[in-house]
Amino acid sequence: MSLLELRNVTVSYPGPRGQPVHAVAGADLDVLAGRVTALVGESGCGKSSLGKAAVGLLAPSGGTVRFDGAPLGALGRGARPEAQRALQMVFQDPYSSLNPRRRVGAQVADGVLAGPDADTPDIDAKVGEVLERVGLPARIASQFPHEFSGGQRQRIAIARALAARPRCIVADEPISALDASAQASVAMLLADLVKETGMGLLFISHDLSIVRRIADDIAVMYLGKIAERGAPDDLWRAPLHPYSEGLIGAIPEADGAGRLPADLPGDVADPAEPPSGCRFHPRCPMAQRICATDQPVLRPFDPNRAAACHFAGDRAT
């Protein structure tokens, strides 16, 4: 069973003329225990809005979000803090997500005190243990966030989330603000923690080369909708959706591995004025007449793969 289950979720903002703009337009997503689910796509495709809806930071305007089988928006007064503890978020910018005026140890202790270890007789020892688990020495607990690099700060933010002993973490572009040298190590740390603890991880990123290294399942998002879902090896070997193929083809390493670069012209369209039919059709090198009029639905092709393209069946065979 999914730890985190999103069904037909819509997230809307008021548009420039007061009309609702759907940043997420009916998306399904599952995060399973002990697995890394990656949500990928270009900037502006709605993946951060979907991540915020997944942890309850944004109220969906439609659809349901369930955590551990219970609707997130309908949890009772007693259950909501427990869901907040068990479902943690790691943000993109570790410079703003940590309080610059509080010592590292105090911020990690907030997580300990919110979780099942709150009654531990030695909070400082628990804080040190969590810091060491994310690859930092326990002695940094007495220091302030500004004394650390971006990668170290993100490790501190992960320690704060981990200290509450969550069952699931949603990490929204957790490596995009980091130096290249820190990106892979922070991503690998998160993946290792999933294997160690059995928690679920939703890893939101536009960096497909790192996603391929850590994800068990990948959901490709385009303009508010899931375009394709599958295992990394399947997606790289034979993408069913032309958008997935374009994203993968744009990775320099993929060219080196023998794949021809795919053409992905233009930018993501304005969600205030989404194209008719398939939202990808103005950019799709394989578009046919039907694509401009009929919206494709996300169809399963085997238990682990699905794609929303009228011609995905031709590519699957």
CB of 296 to ligand SF4, least distance (A): 5
Instruction: Determine which residue in the list 242, 246, 247, 251 makes contact with ligand SF4, applying CB under 6 A.
Output: 242
286 forms part of the interface with ligand SF4 (CB under 6 A): yes
Dihedral (CA of 263, 265, 267, 271) sign: negative
Interacting positions 20-79 with ligand SF4 (CB under 6 A) = none
287 forms part of the interface with ligand SF4 (CB under 6 A): yes
CB of 291 to ligand SF4, least distance (A): 3
Contacts 24+ apart (CB under 8 A), 207-210: 207/175, 207/176, 207/183, 208/40, 208/247, 208/248, 208/251, 209/251, 209/253, 210/175, 210/183, 210/184
Q: Let me know: does 306 contact 300? Beta carbons within 8 Å.
A: yes
CA distance 305 to 286: 20
Interacting positions 87-126 with ligand SF4 (CB under 6 A) = none
Closer by beta carbon to ligand SF4, 52 or else 241: 241
CB of 279 to ligand SF4, least distance (A): 8
CB of 273 to ligand SF4, least distance (A): 17
Q: Which two tokens stand for residue 52?
A: 């915020």
Give Cα separations from 173 to 89, 170, 232 (angstroms): 11, 10, 18
278 forms part of the interface with ligand SF4 (CB under 6 A): yes
List of residues 6+ apart from 263 with CB closer than 8 A: 246, 249, 285
Closer by beta carbon to ligand SF4, 203 or else 311: 311
Closer by beta carbon to ligand SF4, 33 or else 269: 269
225 forms part of the interface with ligand SF4 (CB under 6 A): no
Q: Which two tokens stand for residue 36?
A: 């890394």
Instruction: Determine which residue in the list 281, 298, 301, 306 makes contact with ligand SF4, applying CB under 6 A.
Output: 281
> Which among 51-59, 82-90, 93-101, 280-288 is the span making contact with ligand SF4, rule CB under 6 A?
280-288
**For 9, how many CA atoms within 13 A lie in the half-sphere containing its CB?**
33
Q: Which two tokens stand for residue 256?
A: 């080196």
Instruction: Determine which residue in the list 21, 169, 291, 298 makes contact with ligand SF4, applying CB under 6 A.
Output: 291
Q: Let me know: does 219 contact 19? Beta carbons within 8 Å.
A: no
Q: Which residues bind ligand SF4 (CB under 6 A)?
A: 241-242, 278, 280-281, 284, 286-287, 291, 296, 309-311
